[in-house]
Each structure stands twice: as C-alpha cells, then as structure tokens.
C-alpha cells in the first residue's frame, strides 16, 4: 500500500500537490468541463484544513516546452477559487519556478493555497530533468501526487520530484488505485473485462495481462474485426490490423486453455461508409458482406453482453463497442453502459472514450468508479508500474 496524505503530518508544512487540471477548454479558452478540478477538491481542502500551505501544480494542454498564454493555468486558478470559496494565489512566470513563484511559496501561510504556472512551459518537465525536479521540490516540504491521469508519465512534477521530498498520494489517486488494484488482485467473481475501441494492437498487452486474472473477456468495437478475421470470417471493409491476426488467434487459444469465456460479436451493424448517414443493416458476424464495414455490435450481441455483464461480480470496461459518436452506431456502447449500471457488482470504467461515452449517455449514476485516467488506467491494467505511483512511499 502506498502512503496517503492521512499517513503524514502536514501541519505547518508546505505541500507541493500535483493535480490533473488538464481541463478541456472552448475556443475562447473557457473551461468547458471542470470535473478534473472538482476531483482535486477533497485533497486540497484536507491539506488546507490540516494546516498545510498548499502549492498546486499541473499541466494544461501541450505547450511544447515553452510558455504559451493559450495554456496558462490562470483560468483554472479562477475556477478553483470559485469552487473552494477562497482565494487562490496564482503566479505566472515563464520559468514556472521563477523568483516571484519562489517568494510567494516561501510566504504562503498554513491554510493558504497557490497555483504555479503550467509545468509544461518548461521543456525539462517531460524530460524528467533532475534539476527542474529539484527546483520544484525546493518550493515545498512534502510531495502529494493526486494526478492519476498523468501517473503513467515519468515527468518532473509527477515522479522526479519524489527523489527530493517525502511523497504520498492524494484521495483521488488513492481511490483510483483502490478500484483498479482490487479488480486485479482481489476481484469479486465472475470477473469480466469488456474491451473495445479502434485498435487491437493497443489492447493486446492488456488482454495478455488479464488472461490469468479474469473469468470472461468481452470484445467489441473496431478491434473485434481482427479477431473475427482470425476466425476465418469475411469482415468486409471493417477495421483490420493484418499484422495482429496471428496474435489474436493466439490470445483466443490461451483464453480457451485458461478456461476463460471469450465473447466476440455474434451479429454486427454494417454500413456502406464511415458516416452516420450511411445506409446500414444487421448481419450475423459470419455473414458480413465484402463491401460493407462493421460499425457497431448487433442486438443479439448486445443482449449476450448485457447478460454477461449483469451477472458479474466485477467488471472493468475499456473502449466503446462501436462508433458511439455517431447516433446510428451508438446502441452497442449504450447497451454496455446500461448493463454496467444494472450490475450489482463492482463496475469500473477506464478513462478516455468509454468514460466519455458513459457521460454522453448520462449513465454515470450507478457505476462504482469512472476513472480519470485513460492511458494510466490502461497501463495499470496491463500490469505496468506507473512512475507517478511507484515514487510514492510504501
């Protein structure tokens, strides 16, 4: 177990807290979804309430290692102040840890909160450069990482800084680790993994890692067609990763040897073209026409997947079942989201597209945990060590 803010005395200390404030913004630079800021509030309030001077840091967008006003965290500071109902001091310097920032951090009193400028204004951040890590560390006495979304990156503010300060997790990070950790190490059974999305290549390490952990694997989305091809089916113009056919065949064989139920679509919705307006029809998975593409799972498959999900003790879902962004091909993903809501077990949605889909459908209420980290949750499930977690004290 990694230590959390509860395990360390923060009273009278300066705490450097890495958050994931990488919020979406509209064309005028206004925040269009402040969920990530809200997600950090419990830890910020805990620290300030326990006598810490709180120095917050995050990245925003991809400023490519140099200052860019478009990616300034000023909008985040303003929203944060509104949400907290108290002042958030914001210091914007191109060098991020410049003299003004240092002075403000040094003068910050217990219970006060400041935000420093976008750490990716410095190119050293993503290089995990030791001297920038030290500069960040010099602002504080303790490092708190609450940014699960960037925990798979070894950057100065996510991992490097921990070489110089006692390091613990925040509450959001703790929650993410608990849900994914429990799923992998101590799942209520049957344990089902629902996998979709476009690229099968991205999901192969994940499937390999799950082969000795899960009871069922459910496959949908664009990645399903490479599996169907491996079974010798005609898949028309559907997504195919030719060079992965052999590997998918292997995975299905290993799943069989391990006694894992491996569910593939039994029917699919095929269209003439990749467009919501394209004419489309339902076909059995082994009877797809050569000139059409599969863009969603069919109604029989929806039912089959729903039953498998609802009867599970633990479900982890990563990747949409079809092109959910297009209304006509969203029914499969919607059915999986509904089944996740209906399941009485622990249901976990990996971040990224599946989380976006669940929100788009307004089906968040009865899901145990919707992760804030797409890439990070994927790497965690692949069995990889996340640098932003590994660097924390045991």
> Would you call 352 a catalytic residue per the annotation?
yes
Cα within 13 Å of Cα(390), Cβ side = 13
**Sequence-separated (6 or more) residues with CB below 8 Å from residue 219:** 195, 196, 227, 262, 263, 264, 265
Q: How far is CA 72 from CA 29, 57, 126, in A?
A: 10, 12, 17
198 or 310: whose CB is closer to ligand AMP?
198
199 or 213: whose CB is closer to ligand AMP?
199
78 or 325: whose CB is closer to ligand AMP?
325
Instruction: Exactly one of 36, 120, 203, 244 is catalytic; name it.
Output: 36
| Strand pairing report for 89-91 and 314-318 | unpaired
Tell me which residue has its CB nearest to ligand AMP.
Answer: 197
> Would you call 36 a catalytic residue per the annotation?
yes
Positive or negative, the CA dihedral 220, 226, 228, 234 is: positive
| Strand pairing report for 293-297 and 267-271 | antiparallel
Closest separation between CB of residue 333 and ligand AMP, Å?
A: 8
Instruction: Exactly one of 352, 373, 374, 388 is catalytic; name it.
Output: 352
Closest separation between CB of residue 192 and ligand AMP, Å?
A: 18
149 or 221: whose CB is closer to ligand AMP?
221
148 or 324: whose CB is closer to ligand AMP?
324
User: Contact residues for ligand AMP (CB under 6 A)?
Assistant: 197-199, 202, 221-222, 239, 294-295, 319-320, 322-325, 352-353
22 or 43: whose CB is closer to ligand AMP?
22
Instruction: Tell which residue, 290, 282, 279, 253, has the closest CA to residue 265.
Output: 282
| H-helix segments, the chain | 35-49, 74-84, 99-107, 124-127, 130-137, 171-185, 200-210, 224-230, 245-257, 299-310, 331-342, 353-360, 374-381, 387-390
Instruction: Exactly one of 199, 254, 303, 359 is catalytic; name it.
Output: 199
Both tokens of 278, joined, read 């394209």
Instruction: Exactly one of 61, 98, 313, 375 is catalytic; name it.
Output: 375
Closest separation between CB of residue 195 and ligand AMP, Å?
A: 9
> Would you call 345 a catalytic residue per the annotation?
no
Closest separation between CB of residue 323 and ligand AMP, Å?
A: 4
Closest separation between CB of residue 303 and ligand AMP, Å?
A: 19
Interatomic CA distance for residues 355 and 346, integer angstroms? 16
Interatomic CA distance for residues 348 and 337, integer angstroms? 11
Closest separation between CB of residue 119 and ligand AMP, Å?
A: 26
Catalytic residue numbers, as ranges: 36, 199, 352, 375
């Amino acid at each position: 177990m990694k230590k959390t803010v509860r395990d360390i005395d923060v009273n009278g200390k300066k705490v450097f807290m890495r958050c994931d404030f990488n919020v979406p913004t509209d064309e005028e630079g206004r925040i269009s979804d402040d969920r990530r800021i809200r997600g950090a509030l419990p830890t910020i309030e805990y620290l300030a309430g326990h006598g810490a001077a709180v120095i917050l840091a995050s990245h925003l967008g991809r400023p490519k290692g140099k200052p860019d006003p478009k990616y300034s965290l000023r909008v985040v500071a303003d929203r944060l102040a509104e949400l907290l109902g108290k002042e958030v001091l914001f210091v914007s310097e191109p060098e991020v840890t410049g003299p003004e920032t240092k002075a403000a951090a040094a003068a910050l009193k217990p219970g006060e909160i400041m935000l420093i400028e976008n750490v990716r204004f410095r190119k050293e951040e993503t290089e995990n450069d030791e001297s920038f890590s030290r500069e960040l560390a010099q602002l504080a006495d303790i490092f708190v990482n609450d940014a699960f979304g960037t925990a798979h990156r070894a950057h100065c503010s996510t991992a490097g800084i921990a070489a110089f300060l006692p390091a613990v997790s925040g509450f959001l990070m703790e929650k993410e680790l608990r849900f994914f950790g429990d799923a992998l190490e101590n799942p209520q059974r049957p344990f089902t993994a629902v996998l979709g999305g476009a690229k099968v290549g991205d999901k192969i390490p994940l499937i390999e890692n799950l082969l000795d952990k899960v009871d069922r694997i459910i496959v949908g989305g664009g990645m399903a067609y490479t599996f169907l091809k491996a079974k010798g089916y005609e898949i028309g113009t559907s997504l195919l990763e030719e060079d992965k056919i052999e590997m998918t065949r292997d995975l299905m064989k290993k799943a069989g040897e391990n006694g894992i139920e491996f569910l593939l679509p039994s029917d699919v919705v095929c269209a003439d073209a990749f467009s919501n307006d394209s004419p489309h029809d339902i076909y059995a998975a082994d009877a797809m026409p050569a000139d059409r593409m599969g863009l969603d799972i069919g109604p029989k498959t929806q039912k089959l997947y729903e039953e498998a999900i609802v009867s599970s003790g633990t479900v982890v879902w990563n990747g949409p079942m079809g092109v959910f962004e297009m209304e006509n091909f969203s029914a499969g993903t919607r059915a999986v989201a509904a089944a996740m809501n209906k399941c009485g077990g622990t249901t976990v949605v990996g971040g990224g597209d599946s989380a976006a889909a669940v929100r788009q459908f307004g089906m968040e209420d009865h899901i145990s945990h919707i992760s804030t980290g797409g890439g990070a949750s994927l790497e965690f499930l692949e069995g990889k060590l996340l640098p932003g977690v590994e660097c924390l004290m045991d």
